[in-house]
Structure 1
Amino acid sequence: METLDPDLLKTFLAFVEGGSLAKAASAVGRSPSAITAQMQRLEEIVGEPLLSPQGRGRGLTPAGEDLVGHARRILAVHTEAWLALKGARAGGRIAIGTTQDFADHGLPELLRAFAASHPRVRIELRVGRSLELGSALQAGQIDLAITMRHAPSPDEVALISEPMLWLSSEKGLATRQEAVPLALLDPYCGFRE
């Protein structure tokens, strides 16, 4: 029995996510001809076509559709094993600062996964306001800050950019009054501006 090479599966998923062999080639850093050869090799291993002509490009065959879920699971387990082996050796401490907005949703699951794959790393979590966390980061008191800003500083990376919106029901009080009373956090809060 032949095995499914993780590199071939990565290339296959790059095609699935990009929608073309050219985009897959760009995503994995190989030439289009190398991507075609990898897909042909994967089809040989599977024993049936995974891609079929569709218009000017290619689409997935039923076997290709079936392979997508398996490929994602195989690569996830592959990554999990690698992190468990490599992460188990990593040690030390990491201090993370975040606002309450991020501390409540998403971050607990990420920290739990990190702790499982890096059991010797001590995680310190500090929840606060963006301004104080930015100061703590500059002072070296925390290693990473997940905060909200109007725009990133030169030494920061923007992960998500969303516009601020005011929302109201069509029948709400805000549509019937010139001045709307607001409940806001005390200064300094970027939302107050």
Structure 2
Amino acid sequence: TTQDFADHGLPELLRAFAASHPRVRIELRVGRSVELGSALQAGQLDLAITMRHAPSPDEAFLISEPMLWLCSEKGLATRQDVVPLALLDPYCGFREAALNALDAAGRRYRIAAGSSSLAGLRSAVNAGIALTPRTRRLAHSGIVEASPDLDLPPLPMAGFAIRLGREAARPARDLAELLGTGLALPP
């Protein structure tokens, strides 16, 4: 799975799956969408939750969530004319969406913090040194949606796909169904 789902929603669903499939061994890999998609195609994974960049024939379920500008609940440490960003290293769909939206709006920005993990982004955002584009899944533990007075441009929807490998057995298909219905956030 992508990092987006590892902390929010997935643990409860894995618990339910383990209760209904007590003899199935789960090996959980948390990583970037490109790496997970490649591992799925190579037959190394039975199921993957990835950010959706284009339709794929192995998609079992789709999850769509609004991207939001997120910041520390205490606000930015300093007020700046240039938007300070905390972004994952390339390639990241959230990074591309944020930079495209800011460019289209003519807003100046700088990358104030970069990281290869959501934990790094959370630290930078909680410190108030930057904003980050993510879904509501990251909005907890001191991270909130940015105030409208920051006049940030709208962001697109984030699409995720629950994908099944070619040789996925019945338990993987059962898990995909459980995830497809259980991971969608309420409106």
Name the TM tier (shorter chain): 0.3 to 0.5
- With the length of structure 1 as denominator, give the TM-score of the two structures: 0.42
Q: Which has the higher contact order (CA 8 A, sep 6+)?
A: 2
- With the length of structure 2 as denominator, give the TM-score of the two structures: 0.43
